[in-house]
Structure 1
Amino acid sequence: MNASELRQLFPILNQEVNGKPLVYLDSAATSQKPVHVIEALDKYYREYNSNVHRGVHTLGTKATDGYEGAREKVRRFINAKSTQEVIFTRGTTTAINTVASSYGLANLKEGDEIVITPMEHHSNIIPWQQVARVTGAALKYIPLQPDGSIALEDVENTVTANTKIVSVMQVSNVLGAINPIKEIAAIAHKHGAIMVVDGAQSTPHMKIDVQDLDCDFFAFSAHKMCGPTGIGVLYGKKALLNKMEPIEFGGEMIDFVGLQESTWKELPWKFEGGTPIIAGAIGLGAAIDFLTEVGLDAIQQHEHELAEYAMERMSEIEGLVIYGPKHRAGLVTFNLDDVHPHDVATVLDAEGIAVRAGHHCAQPLMKWLNATATARASFYLYNTKDEIDTFVKGLSTTKEYFGHVF
């Protein structure tokens, strides 16, 4: 299927906004959902809504099968060795916080180092700041190249024998930079550190093989990959997860509870306290089915072509600055003359075009870019070159409007 045909599977795209056909260019924030996912969620709530694991009745068994079946789909999707290495969380943020709070606080001390980059999303900065504050470990940053990319030489110069954790996003939500995770992981392991990967912006758009990457932890969210909000995944190597303590306690994650002490279930359930996100997992499973059928290689190629086309067209607009490396994932972050990004987004919205504006949960990167905020257009499998033409026309309208105002 081409993008025009795929669009027909996304009901929300068939509407007008402010009297104009919707052009949705904000998939890096959250993607739209195909009928396949919407119907899977509807079927669960209509036909077999029940709690999982505890009951032996028919609905409970169907719900458990759907929930655990989704876990197996995730395992295959990222090529984990075992479903015991697949933990359902509320999203990427919760997954990274789990590693920081469970592994980081237990294994770091004064004199140790945590290494990240200035391009990280706040969700991959603040948890490590907190670990450093509590443990006395030092938080270090790999410097960025002038175009915002990472040079392996800089990784080598930053990671030392004192480094215990390296945590890097695979794809930047601002720059579109695709980071060399496999090579960074090799450097981390050479020095005895573990490798944590924020896969929020990569998992929806390219094939992920956690065994090939040799990362120790990998986190991603469903809502950016055609799935529901409120659910994500933490992958972790079994040997590490087995040594870690859960950070949420209560029902579902326990084995035996006594008056003075308790023991935990085996993986992955010891990290899934309380009633789990059942519908979300089933919806994520449906999203994986959908993306697998479309093909991740085809999605990545389509987005690469859209990004190249967008940058080519946007370069025609005088006074427009694009941030990030030339080789990038399917998004373009930019500023237009002295027009504030929120004003750019507002004028585009009046034309039915949805883009993101602000600091994109990346304030340290904004400082590095010497920008208070930026605007971002992000693409997915349902976007077309015609939409990019509409977007560029909208940028021209914005420039013309504020040219008159000023």
Structure 2
Amino acid sequence: MSQDSYFEKVRAQFPALTQKVHGKDWVYLDSAATTLKPESVSQRIYNFNKYEVSNVHRGAHTIADKATVNYENARQAVAEFINAKSQDEIVFVRGTTEAINLAAHSYARNVLKEGDEVLLTEMEHHGNIVPWQLAAEEKKAKVLAAKVLDNGELDMADFRAKLSPKTKIVAVTACSNVLGTVNDISTIVKEAHKVGAKVLVDAAQIVSQEAVDVQAWDCDFLAFSGHKLFAPFGIGVLYGKKELLDQMPPYQGGGSMITNVSFEKTTFNDVPFRFEAGTPNVGGAIALHAAIDFVKSIGFDKIKAHKKALLQAATEGISKIPNVRIIGTAANKGPILSFVVEGAHHSDIGQILDQQGIAVRAGHHCTQPLMKRFGITGTVRASFSVYNNMQDVESFVKAVKKAQELFQ
């Protein structure tokens, strides 16, 4: 079976793509914001809500036991998916942003001192900037950012120059949600560890593109969201090396995260439960397991090759349109294509594409410092996934050409 035929069968698992928008076949190119959900994931969450609903860990009945087993099986599935040493290193949260906030609150606030530094990059999402700023401000530490080159690659010389014994934390995206740049995480971690810094990786964009191996990277923390991995909203993961999680105080208080409560003193549960106060998103975790199974059924070799072909075709097509500038031309890119049209506002282009049935994202993409670095206020962003095909690319390029002609 050819790759095109294979991915047409994958595409058929996404009923959302059968709809029409403004009378046209819907072309969904906003997967960097959130992925569509395959039938297997939708059916899994449906079955849970219909037949299996129960709270976990404390139930005294059969269905509660079943929910607990499935919830913890999901934790194990995540651990295996990113090659963590143990499922004890997997904390379920709402998404990438909460995962980073947890690390900033429970780890950074307890290690940072006045004069210390947190090193980020200019390509970070606001969710990987603001939590560190809050922690640094409280501790009178500084937040620095390594520069991005004109082609969208991280300036490794500047990164190394800004590393010092003062650097206690490095937080970096594995793949830029605007530029598509895929960073060399192994090298970044090695350089950071040389000065004794701990590294958090924002893996929100990379988890649906290629295999993540936290042990090979040797990162200290890693965060991602289920909804960018074909799972529902409201479920995400913080991975942390167990020796670090063991040292961290609770992020929130309440049920599940305790072993004993009295008015005199409360003692806290072991990790990861110490960080999962209250009723967890049981259905979300179970659906995340189904999403991981979906990805594994395809395989990252096929996924990466398919997305690379789509990105290459889209890049070639957009590059031929006059007065269109691509933002982010790194050699190693994920399936993300951001661009600006001379004389046109990005929001106007986005609306014109929508009228042609093309769903893209337009704006600053929660990366205002990066927009400032490139001297723009925003971009139009197309992002590709397993359910896209070359016809989608052709429709997209044709729509951009039509939009550009309106502003000549």
4+ residue segments displaced more than 4 Å: none
Quote the residue 1:84 is aligned against. Answer: 88
Quote the residue 2:55 is aligned against. Answer: 51
Q: Distance in 1 between matches of 2:342 and 2:146?
A: 30
Aligned partner of 1:395 among 392, 396, 400 = 400
Matched, 1:101 2:94: no
**Could you tell me which amino acid in structure 2 is paired with residue 391 of structure 1?**
F
Displacement of 1:56: 2.3
Displacement of 1:326: 3.7
Quote the residue 1:268 is aligned against. Answer: 272
Aligned partner of 1:74 among 72, 78, 81 = 78
Aligned partner of 2:385 among 371, 380, 387 = 380
Deviates more, 1:126-135 or 1:352-361: 126-135
**Could you tell me which amino acid in structure 2 is paired with residue 115 of structure 1?**
L
- Aligned residues of 2:224 and 2:237 also touching (Cα < 8 A): yes
Quote the residue 1:339 is aligned against. Answer: 344
Q: Distance in 2 between matches of 1:152 and 1:401?
A: 40
**Could you tell me which amino acid in structure 2 is paired with residue 2 of structure 1?**
Y
Displacement of 1:141: 1.1
Aligned residues: 403
Displacement of 1:338: 1.1
Q: Distance in 2 between matches of 1:315 and 1:162?
A: 43
Quote the residue 2:359 is aligned against. Answer: 354
Q: CA RMSD in A?
A: 0.9
- Aligned residues of 1:221 and 1:233 also touching (Cα < 8 A): yes
Matched, 1:214 2:195: no
Q: Distance in 1 between matches of 2:343 and 2:195?
A: 46
User: Which segments of 5 or more consecutive residues in structure 1 lack a partner in the other structure?
Assistant: none
Quote the residue 1:61 is aligned against. Answer: 65
SS in 2 for 1:243: coil
Displacement of 1:153: 2.5
Displacement of 1:309: 1.0
- Aligned residues of 1:117 and 1:141 also touching (Cα < 8 A): yes
Quote the residue 2:45 is aligned against. Answer: 41
Displacement of 1:396: 1.4
Displacement of 1:3: 2.3
- Aligned residues of 1:155 and 1:187 also touching (Cα < 8 A): no
SS in 2 for 1:218: strand
Aligned partner of 1:144 among 130, 143, 148 = 148
SS in 2 for 1:164: strand
- Aligned residues of 1:143 and 1:150 also touching (Cα < 8 A): yes
Displacement of 1:332: 0.2
Q: Distance in 1 between matches of 2:248 and 2:6?
A: 45
Displacement of 1:146: 1.8
Give the TM-score taking structure 2 as reference length.
0.97
